[in-house]
Amino acid sequence: MKKIWSGRLGNSLSSEADAFNSSIAFDSRLYKQDILGSIAHATMLAKQGILTKEDADLIVKGLQDILEDIETGALPIDLEAEDIHSFIESELTSRIGDAGKRLHTARSRNDQTAVDLRMYLRDQGTIIKGLLVDLVKVLADKASDHRDTIMPGYTHLQRAQPVTYGHHLMAYAMMFLRDIGRFKDALARMNYSPLGSCALAGTSYNIDRAYTAQLLGFDGITQNSMDSVSDRDFCIELLAASSIIMMHMSRFCEELILWSSWEFGFVEMDDSCSTGSSIMPQKKNPDIAELIRGKVGRVYGHLVSTLTMMKGLPLSYNKDMQEDKEAIFDCMDTVKACLGVFTPMIKTLTVNKDRMYKATQEGFINATDLADYLVNKGMPFRTAYKIIGQIVAYCIEKGLILEKMPIEDYKGFSQLFDTDLYEQISPEACIKRRISEGGTGSESLEKQLAYVSAILDKEKEK
């Protein structure tokens, strides 16, 4: 195919270099944004008297036809073309003649690709934000179902203190809420139109950038033409926010993988998100959770590759920047695919309450509460801490747990102990006693649920 730039150079690019240079295999997905951007541009050029009304009408009609033909499959994308922008422009010209050649007045592919990408990512970002809202809703609903499901809370993956499964789920709800916030921030910051920045320095034509920005649903225009054509901060922000989402999902997946093992037995994944083994008949494997955990690497990789790609670029546009697309497209696809299976996985998870509860009765998870028991009876915390440490060592030696150690033995360590201690160190009592804000007590959980639901309601209003 003849190059749109084949004036000075003729058509002598080697076929290897041509294929290497081409981006249409991956930027063809921008066809719709490219067409809408061009329609807005032509409309603006006509309004400003730069194009005649007749030419603009031909262009707009021609572009609308091309859009329809691409979507119905009547017009296959020519993978020999250099990129989606030149493909659509030359298709337009072959359909409407000279008017098509006028479309690129006061425009460059540099601002064109920048505006297309912002429009595409704005839509993708909004989809991901919606998926996050659905996820947080599921987490909050499940948390509300599991207000009273008691499980061990861990630090260092050692049983630490009892918590409710609801509280544990709400920890993730908070993470994904912040992810929603990060996406919102990034989407708001990127919604400014670079169109009209042209190659790098603006144009001598009397264009109306605010008008095209408005036609394309932007909140305004970018302020510096050199920055506009060479800025990919919006990709990097989305990549960074996506990396954090992936990290959050991966942490939960890691827990689910552990919890669904025989050793923990806390949860069972639904058959809809488990697989079997081709050789071991007893196996039920958490493949989906593992795959999400595994896919984090590629998203982090795209963030790092894009940051690295940008770091040495002199202003303004450089062809290196064509590398932005595969990275950010794969990132968006991956995050969407992961959220698409993660949320149903959480929703359909079976929780083995008995196993969770039983795990709180071993491992001295109530030792802190036993120390607090002595503190409440007047002993300084450090002294109590030391005594409980000795009691734990004694229990381990005798094969006892705190709930089962006889009161006479307790009295041997301190006369402050009495039979009321047993009731005080039950997992239920430990949780009930956690009255501080943000803790695992029931009042805190109610507050967390209300907090999340207020934010979700606001998100849904939009």
d(CA 459, CA 462): 6
- Tell me which of 33, 43, 93, 110 binds ligand ARG, using CB under 6 A: 110
Active-site residue identified among 15, 156, 204, 278: 156
- 12-20, 58-66, 293-301, 319-327 -> range binding ligand ARG (CB under 6 A): 319-327
Burial letters 406-416, b for 16+ CB under 10 A, else e? eeeebeeebeb
- Tell me which of 144, 214, 274, 322 binds ligand ARG, using CB under 6 A: 322
Q: Is 15 a catalytic residue?
A: no
Give yes or no for residue 33 binding ligand ARG (CB under 6 A): no
Give yes or no for residue 38 binding ligand ARG (CB under 6 A): no
Tokens representing residue 58 in the block: 């031909």
Q: Are strands 150-155 and 267-268 parallel, antiparallel or unpaired?
A: unpaired
Tokens representing residue 305 in the block: 């590759």
Q: Is 277 a catalytic residue?
A: yes
Give residues 242-281 in contact with ligand ARG (rule: CB under 6 A): none
- Tell me which of 113, 191, 360, 448 binds ligand ARG, using CB under 6 A: 113
DSSP 49-70: TSS-HHHHHHHHHHHHHHHHHH
Give yes or no for residue 318 binding ligand ARG (CB under 6 A): no
Please, what is the Cα angle at 82 between 334 and 99, to 5 degrees? 115
Is-contact 165 151, C-beta < 8 A? yes
- Tell me which of 176, 211, 252, 317 binds ligand ARG, using CB under 6 A: 317
Residue 23 or residue 222: which is nearer to ligand ARG going by CB?
23
Site string for ligand ARG, 69-108 (x = CB under 6 A): --------------x-------------------------
Tokens representing residue 347 in the block: 């929703």
Residue 113 or residue 161: which is nearer to ligand ARG going by CB?
113
Give yes or no for residue 319 binding ligand ARG (CB under 6 A): yes
d(CA 277, CA 162): 35
In the complex, minimum distance from the CB of residue 116 to ligand ARG, in angstroms, rounded to a whole number: 9
Is-contact 306 232, C-beta < 8 A? yes
In the complex, minimum distance from the CB of residue 156 to ligand ARG, in angstroms, rounded to a whole number: 47
Residue 218 or residue 317: which is nearer to ligand ARG going by CB?
317
Give residues 121-160 in contact with ligand ARG (rule: CB under 6 A): none
Residue 85 or residue 146: which is nearer to ligand ARG going by CB?
85
Residue 199 or residue 210: which is nearer to ligand ARG going by CB?
199
Give yes or no for residue 23 binding ligand ARG (CB under 6 A): yes
- Residue 327, classified by CB atoms within 10 Å of its CB into exposed (0-12), middle (13-18) or buried (19+), is buried
Q: Are strands 267-268 and 350-351 parallel, antiparallel or unpaired?
A: antiparallel
Residues in the interface with ligand ARG (CB under 6 A) total 10
Give yes or no for residue 34 binding ligand ARG (CB under 6 A): no
3-state secondary structure of 160: strand
d(CA 356, CA 362): 11
Q: 434: alpha, beta or left, given left = phi > 0 and alpha = psi -120 to 50?
A: beta
Beta bridge partners of 150: 164
Residue 436: how many other CB atoms lie within 10 Å: 10
Give the residue among 239, 244, 125, 108 at the shortest CA–CA distance from 184.
Answer: 125
Beta bridge partners of 161: 153
Give yes or no for residue 410 binding ligand ARG (CB under 6 A): no
Residue 266 or residue 317: which is nearer to ligand ARG going by CB?
317
d(CA 75, CA 442): 60
Give yes or no for residue 109 binding ligand ARG (CB under 6 A): yes
- 179-187, 315-323, 350-358, 424-432 -> range binding ligand ARG (CB under 6 A): 315-323
Residue 26 or residue 451: which is nearer to ligand ARG going by CB?
26
Positions touching ligand ARG (CB under 6 A) are: 23, 27, 83, 109-110, 113, 317, 319, 321-322
Active site residues: 156, 277
